[in-house]
Copies of this chain bind each other. A is one copy, B any other.
Amino acid sequence: MTEGSKTELKNAQVKLKIKLAAARLFQEQGFPATSMRELAQKVGLEASSLYNYIKSKDELLIEICTQHSQTFMRGLDEVLDSSASIEQKLTAIIEQHVILAFNDPSIVTVFNDEWKHLPLEVKSEFIKQRKHYENRILKLLESGMEEGTFQKLDPKICLYSFLSALKWVHYGYKPDKLDPKTVVKQISEFLLKGLMIRP
């Protein structure tokens, strides 16, 4: 390993540290309300020194959002390409969301709430990706309705309600120390079988 690549490695580590601190601040205060001075303080640098590791404040948001977007996409590929039943696939999608929300709550929050502050160009690409992601799950719901596994309801309303229902795990109020596995099981039961008791 040359001296040069060692430096690059170190730089990448510092950049990662900056990115994680940024995710936490963006989560707590939102992207526009977070200043580079504040971020610098969190990682023990002066504001101007940050620019040795990153290009701009925007870059941080872009990398957080797009990396997470790719993680989601890859996870969805894996689930949909499997030979599992439709019901199993849907449970796997729930599991994927919950585990990501447990592991990286800050990043998931930024991904969910702060994408609207992306620069215009990147934002429209982000929306396109998300639309694509949603459409693939929509197809899954529709085929489940066709094959008689799922109730015949408005697929889009189901889709949005389904995805929204998963969007609380990453927030502060984790119910009393529940482990991810239990949460997955309970949410799956709630979404697949409904609140009302079965006759």
A33 contacts across to B, CB distance below 8 A: 32, 117
Contact code string A143-156 (vs B, CB < 8 Å = 1, else 0): 01000111101101
Of B116, B148, B165, which is within 8 A of A161 by CB? B165
Interface size on A, residues (CB 8 A): 50
9-residue interface stretch from A13-21, A43-51, A53-61, A178-186:
A178-186
Given A160-B168, A168-B161, the answer on whether A153 and B194 have CB atoms closer than 8 Å is no
A187 located at the interface, meaning its Cβ lies under 8 Å from any Cβ of chain B in the complex:
yes
A166 located at the interface, meaning its Cβ lies under 8 Å from any Cβ of chain B in the complex:
yes
A120 located at the interface, meaning its Cβ lies under 8 Å from any Cβ of chain B in the complex:
no
A196 contacts across to B, CB distance below 8 A: 87, 149-151, 192-194
If over half of A's interface residues share one DSSP class (helix, strand or loop), that class is named, otherwise mixed; here it is helix
A4 located at the interface, meaning its Cβ lies under 8 Å from any Cβ of chain B in the complex:
no
Q: Which residue of B lies closest to A176 (CB)?
A: B156
Besides the known contacts A141-B195, A150-B195, A198-B199, 19 further A-B residue pairs in the complex with CB atoms under 8 A apart: A29-B116, A30-B31, A30-B117, A32-B32, A33-B117, A150-B196, A151-B198, A154-B178, A154-B186, A156-B175, A157-B178, A160-B173, A161-B166, A161-B190, A163-B168, A164-B165, A190-B194, A192-B196, A193-B194
